[in-house]
Structure 1
Amino acid sequence: MRIERTAIEGVAIVELERREDDRGFFARTYDRAEFEAAGLEPAVEQCNLSYNHSAGTLRGMHLQVAPHPETKLVRCVRGALVDIIVDLRPDSPTRLQHVAVELTAENRRALFVPAYFAHGFQTLVDDTEAIYQVSGAYTPRAERGLRHDDPDLALPWPMAATVISDKDRSWPLLAERPASDFDPLEEQETSA
């Protein structure tokens, strides 16, 4: 693997180093030690598969707040998509900046998404599949999202969204939400 850092601290593109012969090729897609050496949080607790019928399908922009933040490693295994992440770390000098990467079955790239980054993608062709390795379990009460079409973000989607969930369409705009919306959750004390 080759881990290429981006202009935003903590974000990386993972390129495969293929070992080819008459059978095809072999490549390591994940190595905890290499991720740690690159300063990336390598924990994987859950893996997800997303299948998308139509080009233009948009999923996102999702994240989870503390104490349930997630890192993700996203790879397109069929078709093609544009993956976009937005920095929502509170004290980051790149807060609200984004990284956009084309992930395809052919280029076999992956995008490492740090905690506190909203993540989403749009499919470029029909029948696109993506696999996510995620550092934590889905926790609905910790889930937050951004509108894909928020004018304050001006995200570079390659086309108009043809399919999007009602939930993703209805996230509030940044200008309409309290700044505390992305603060850590207060854990409820439970008595025995």
Structure 2
Amino acid sequence: MHITETTVPGSYVITPKPHPDERGNFFEGLRADHLEAAIGRPFLPRQINYSTSRRNTLRGIHGVTLPPGQAKYVTCVRGALRDIVVDLRVGSPTFGAYQTQVLDAESGRAVYVPDGVGHGFLTLTDDACICYVLSSVYVPGTQVDINPLDADLALPWGFTEPPLMSHKDATAPSVTEAAAAGLLTSWKEATRDTRSPTTSQPR
């Protein structure tokens, strides 16, 4: 697989190598050893989530406070979606920068989202299904939600009609409000763990 860092430091796009034959296709969806070599830290899956959505559904921008923190390995296993990661780490040299990527089931392309980086997506097909492989389990009260339509972020969702959104996302605070409330992770906190995957202990 090919792993490339995005414009958001610590976030990567992973493109698997397909192996098609007369039966269909095969590719490796996740190689933890290759991923850990790229990110410079361990990635131990602790929870896997799926969500299905109708076309033009907008979910995000979501993150988790640190602690406990939560890295994500995101793939689209049915249909297609426009995926966006945005740097929400206070003090980051690229704070507010984003990367957009189309994820679809056919390519198997994935995105790695590190601690402190927000994530969201807009579905491009009906019955799209997204898979999240997570580095930590769900802890109530640690979720961070940022309004995906925040004018300061100006994220390029590309919808041509109002998207379907949850009330929680539509009424989420702006990035400025979230920062003022102390909800965002600092750049220093998010990047302090640079231990080798071969020598580190599980967090």
TM-score, normalised with respect to structure 1: 0.89
For 1:183 and 1:90, locate their aligned partners in 2 and report how far apart those are by CA, in whole Å: 6
Q: Which position in structure 2 is the counterpart of 1:90?
A: 90
Task: Determine if the alignment matches structure 1 residue 49 to structure 2 residue 50.
Answer: yes
Counterpart residue type for residue 127 of structure 2: D
Q: Which position in structure 2 is the counterpart of 1:135?
A: 135
Which secondary structure does the structure 2 equivalent of 1:91 belong to? coil
Counterpart residue type for residue 60 of structure 2: G
C-alpha distance after superposition, 1:76-135 (max 9, x if no partner): 111110011111122311111111111112222111111111111110111111111011
Q: Which position in structure 2 is the counterpart of 1:146?
A: 146
Which secondary structure does the structure 2 equivalent of 1:67 belong to? coil
Q: Which position in structure 1 is the counterpart of 2:100?
A: 100
For 2:147 and 2:124, locate their aligned partners in 1 and report how far apart those are by CA, in whole Å: 19
For 1:16 and 1:112, locate their aligned partners in 2 and report how far apart those are by CA, in whole Å: 13
2:70 touches 2:115 (CA, 8 Å); kept in 1? yes
For 1:77 and 1:155, locate their aligned partners in 2 and report how far apart those are by CA, in whole Å: 24
1:60 touches 1:119 (CA, 8 Å); kept in 2? yes
Structure 1 residues 59 and 7: alpha-carbon distance in aligned structure 2, compared to 1, 3 A threshold: same
1:44 touches 1:133 (CA, 8 Å); kept in 2? yes
Give the drift of 1:70: 0.7
Q: Which position in structure 2 is the counterpart of 1:110?
A: 110
Q: Which position in structure 1 is the counterpart of 2:3?
A: 3
Cα RMSD after superposing both structures: 1.6
Give the drift of 1:179: 5.0
For 1:163 and 1:32, locate their aligned partners in 2 and report how far apart those are by CA, in whole Å: 34
Counterpart residue type for residue 183 of structure 2: D
Give the drift of 1:176: 3.5
Q: 176, 179, 182: which is aligned to 1:180?
A: 182
Q: Which position in structure 2 is the counterpart of 1:187?
A: none
1:64 touches 1:139 (CA, 8 Å); kept in 2? no
Which secondary structure does the structure 2 equivalent of 1:24 belong to? coil
Task: Provide runs of 4+ in structure 1 moved above 4 Å.
Answer: none
Counterpart residue type for residue 110 of structure 1: A
Q: Which position in structure 2 is the counterpart of 1:12?
A: 12
Q: Which position in structure 2 is the counterpart of 1:163?
A: 164
For 1:148 and 1:103, locate their aligned partners in 2 and report how far apart those are by CA, in whole Å: 18
- From the two aligned structures, give the one with the greater strand fraction: 1
Which secondary structure does the structure 1 equivalent of 2:141 belong to? helix
Which secondary structure does the structure 1 equivalent of 2:70 belong to? coil
Counterpart residue type for residue 48 of structure 1: N
The count of aligned residue pairs is: 183
Counterpart residue type for residue 163 of structure 1: L
Counterpart residue type for residue 111 of structure 1: V
For 1:6 and 1:181, locate their aligned partners in 2 and report how far apart those are by CA, in whole Å: 24
For 1:32 and 1:106, locate their aligned partners in 2 and report how far apart those are by CA, in whole Å: 21
